[in-house]
Structure 1
Amino acid sequence: MCSRSCSRWIGVSLYPLVLTSIICNIVLFFPGWDVKYAKEGHITQEVQYFGGIVGGGLMMLIPAIYFHLAAENGCCGIRSGMFLPILLAAAGAAGGVYSFVVALLGVYNGPFCGVFGGIWTRPFQKSYFIYLINHTLWAICSEPENVVQFNTGLFCTLMATSCVQVLLCAIQMLNGLVGCLRGACNNKAFYHVNYNPNIFIAFLCFVL
């Protein structure tokens, strides 16, 4: 697969993964599908690290847009033009790793829940994942309802999503390296005439 086609494919593939990461992180703020826990501060600490929104979301969205637009505008594979995609792919991979680590900690430490007696704590924090296979322990959390399944399911989704994101960014880094060494544009003049990097810079300024 040539550099241009590969970049377009990676950029488009990242969009649904970015959306999934952001949605999962947002939903985690509403355990039991109720806003009162967020208002009362009864939210798992890792949710507030915004791993899905920042790491798997914004840090991945900017590279995805660049890969897609650069390929659509004619060429992304000339030697000098592929250096920036390598840096953006590396930044996206770092965001994916951040999202994965935060989600892993979220699963490892377990949910923040109300136990019998009205005490709010993290009863599985030092269980070393044992609670995941011993479902009888889940009854310890009386509030929010089904919070263990809720917490584990969304964090595991974030982990799976971030793994795919990091893999795609690694492919793009390799793709960019190939473009730097070989070049992959059949018509370099087309790139200089039609692809204006100022458009992308203006878009970043608008987003930020």
Structure 2
Amino acid sequence: MCTGRCSQCLAVALYPTAFTSILCNILLFFPNWDVKYAREGHLTEEVLYMGGLVGGGIMVLASALYIHQTGVRGCCANRCGMFISIAFAAVGVVGALYSFLVAFLALQNGPTCYNSLFWGQHFKDSTYLKNPTTWGECSEPKNVVVFNTGLFATLLATSALQMLLCAIQVINGLVGCVGGTCLNKGPL
């Protein structure tokens, strides 16, 4: 397979992951589908880091756009274009890694909630994911543990896939940079 075609395939695979990351991060601002928790400042700290919006979203999307253009310019583009795609793929890896780490920390620390005494991250330093019976300790927002766990787990999986795809593009870019253009000059 031509390295240009491979770049296009990788970029097309990155687009939905970037949009999924952005959507998950936006939804995390509305636990229990209500804006009052964001307005009152009762959001999980990791939501405010915006790993899905900035890292897995904007940084990966910018990488995907350039990687896609590298493949569009002709079979394998040129050596300089493939070299630059390595840098953009590295930006994508860094963005996806940021999203991954934020999601991992959020799953480890648990959501911010009210436990009939005070607001806080009551599951910090606990194994709440292994013990769903403790999830009822959070009285407000309703079902926040399931809400946050589902969205942050989606961000975790999505960012792991993004890191893999961007790492493949780094290798693909190296091959295109060293090997040059394809012998087949036909349309993509």
Instruction: State the TM-score, normalized to the length of structure 2.
Output: 0.95
TM-superposed deviation, 1:66: 1.1
Offset at residue 74 of structure 1 (A):
1.6
Counterpart of 1:173 in structure 2 is: 170
Which residue is equivalent to 1:92? Answer: 92
Q: Amino acid of the residue matched to residue 178 of structure 1?
A: V
Contact 1:78 1:185 in 2 (8 A): no
Q: Which residue of 2 aligns with 1:206?
A: none
* Partner AA of 2:32 in structure 1: G
Asked whether the equivalents of residues 77 and 180 of structure 1 are also in contact (C-alpha less than 8 Å), the reply is no
Runs (4+) of structure 1 moved beyond 2 Å?
75-81, 184-188
Q: Equivalent residue for 1:203?
A: none
- 5+ residue gaps, structure 1: 191-208
Moved more, 143-152 or 74-83: 74-83
Q: Which runs of 5+ in 2 are unaligned?
A: none
Q: Who is 1:7 aligned against?
A: 7
Shift, 1:187, TM fit: 7.2
1:154-185: CA deviations, max 9, x gaps?
A: 00000000000000000000000001111133
The size of the alignment, in residue pairs, is 186
Matched, 1:108 2:108: yes
Q: Give the RMSD, CA atoms, in angstroms.
A: 1.5
Distance across 1 between alignment mates of 2:167 and 2:143: 37
Alignment of 1:36-185 (within 5 A): 36-117=36-117, 119-127=118-126, 130-185=127-182
What's the offset of the Cα at 1:133? 1.3
**Percent identity between the aligned chains?**
58
| TM-score, structure 1 normalization | 0.86
Letter in 1 for 2:96: G
